[in-house]
Amino acid sequence: MRKIFKRIIGSFLIVSLFGVMTMYLGNRTKVQAAYSGLGEIRFEWEREIYQGVNLRHTMSYNDNKDQKTYTVDFNPKTTALKPVVSTGIGTVLYGCRLTTMINHYESIGQHVVFAFNGDGYDSSGIPLGISINDGKLLTSGQGRYGFGFNAAGELQYGSSTLPMSFTIEGGSPITLAHVNKERKEQTSGVYFLTEDFYPTTESTAAGVEVVLTVDSGQDGLRIGQPYRLTVQNVVTVSNNPNKNKTQIGAGKAVLATHASSSQYNTLRNLTPGQKVVVNVNDNSDPKINWSEMQVGLGIFHMLLDNGVVADIVDTNHAVHPRTVMGVRADGSVVLMQNDGRQVGWATGFTYKETVEYLRDVRGCIHVFNFDGWYDNADGTGTAITEIPQGSSGNKKYYAKWSLT
């Protein structure tokens, strides 16, 4: 099952704590009727952490008692930031800690301005929904909503259910079920694994795994562009609790399916040298053009859609830590991270309190709920880096935004 809680507060605390501060020195234990959103502000500071990027920390008291909240406010269309979605360091499978991702990007000369958790993920660290980085599709997101940024910094969101297929030369298109998802759940579908998945297939179920070589002149699997490959070899695998190790490797990919699949013989009968074309096409959702998205990520829950409150806001009253994105009508973004599950320090928000604050106080018309955190959680992430402004030696400076 998915792990849904991760701690990212440290990524915000690395900035210097200077700025405008206000403090309320009232009775911490007094209770008033019907607090909304963050409730009564007890302490607050705000400062600019990068050009056009503001960080705010608020300590407050609402119906769930003590709250600790951080927000990052910026406009992706006017701020020199480059979003980066990271599902791990070089691989989708297994993921890694957000701090590890941040350290990786810093080590290659990029400067992380802020980072936050994104979509939920399964027991193997694979995102539940879609993920895109540098225009390349890292994971498919069938049946889920997602959002993305295009090259102009415009945020779009909508269904991430995309028509996906592969075609063997001389044949008709065959449906693909998943891209870079672990072959363990849907036994009838065909999976496509790119070099971003993992060096090996790591499958546990019997089936067939066709290794393909990516034809030259192509830079990753991209929505709306045919991906051309050549069959290298066909591998049949058995049930293996220790995991099958069919090699993928750089410049390779794998088509795979279960032994019980209706497409088993189709893949089993492929021969070296045959040509295969994989297509992931855009869908018909008018709210988003996935083929133009430079980065993209799945949305765990839609809480507010163009001002309309989702049913889950009124029916689910659970109190948890929250990692949330609010979007205003002008395209500016408020990222909110609320601490929780710490009695006497920070309790956490309900969905209703989350929406009340981002809609009524911060002016958002869309609100997307992402993952939470635990200290030891592994998972996927995203980062925002600044557009290169210059270099010192071989080091370019970036500002980075990380999502997991």
Sequential DSSP letters for 251-299: TEEEEEEETTSTTHHHHHT--TT-EEEEEE-----TT--GGGEEEEEE-
Residue 376 lies in a domain: yes
**Does some domain include residue 158?**
no
Kindly tell me if the per-residue pLDDT of 243 is higher than 60.
yes
Examine the domain organization and report whether 201 and 331 are in the same domain.
no
Domain of 376 in residue numbering reads as 1-151+289-404
159 inside domain:
no
Instruction: Indicate the pLDDT class of residue 213, thresholds 50, 70 and 90.
Output: very high
Enter the DSSP assignment of 110: -
* Sequence-distant (≥ 6) Cβ neighbours of residue 403 within 8 angstroms: 83, 85, 86, 115, 116, 117, 118, 119, 297, 370, 380, 381, 382, 383
Average pLDDT, the chain: 84
Q: What is the pLDDT of residues 4-56, one digit of tens each?
A: 333 332 322 222 233 344 444 334 444 444 578 999 999 999 999 999 999 99
The answer to whether position 91 is within a domain reads yes
pLDDT at 117: 82
Indicate the residue among 280, 299, 331 that finishes a domain. Answer: 280
The pLDDT > 90 percentage for the chain reads 67
Pair 317, 252 in one domain: no
According to DSSP, the residues that pair with 41 across neighbouring strands are 60
Based on the fold, state whether residues 212 and 302 are members of the same structural domain: no
Q: What is the C-alpha to C-alpha distance for residues 234 and 312, in angstroms, rounded to an integer? A: 46
Q: How does pLDDT run across 57-73, given as a tens digit for each residue?
A: 999 999 889 999 999 99
Least confident of 74-78, 101-105, 146-150, 209-213: 101-105
Regarding whether 118 and 57 lie in a shared domain, the answer is: yes
Say if residue 232 is in the same domain as residue 112: no
- Number of separate domains in the chain: 2
99-154 confidence digits (pLDDT tens): 888 889 899 888 889 888 888 888 888 988 999 999 999 999 978 899 999 999 99
Q: Check whether residue 46 and residue 192 sit in a common domain.
A: no
Q: Which residue has the higher pLDDT, 400 or 83?
A: 83
Residues 2 and 140 in one domain: yes
| Domain-located, residue 217 | yes
Q: What is the mean pLDDT of residues 249-272?
A: 97
Same domain, 84 and 8: yes
Same domain, 200 and 314: no
Q: In this structure, is residue 176 part of a structural domain?
A: yes
Query: Within this chain, do residues 9 and 145 fall inside the same structural domain, yes or no?
Result: yes
- State mean pLDDT over 377-397: 32
pLDDT of residue 110: 87
Q: Say yes or no: 139 and 183 in one domain.
A: no
Together in a domain, 10 and 106: yes
Establish if 78 belongs to a structural domain: yes
Domain membership flag for residue 224:
yes
Final residue of a structural domain among 280, 305, 327: 280
Mean pLDDT of 238-249: 96
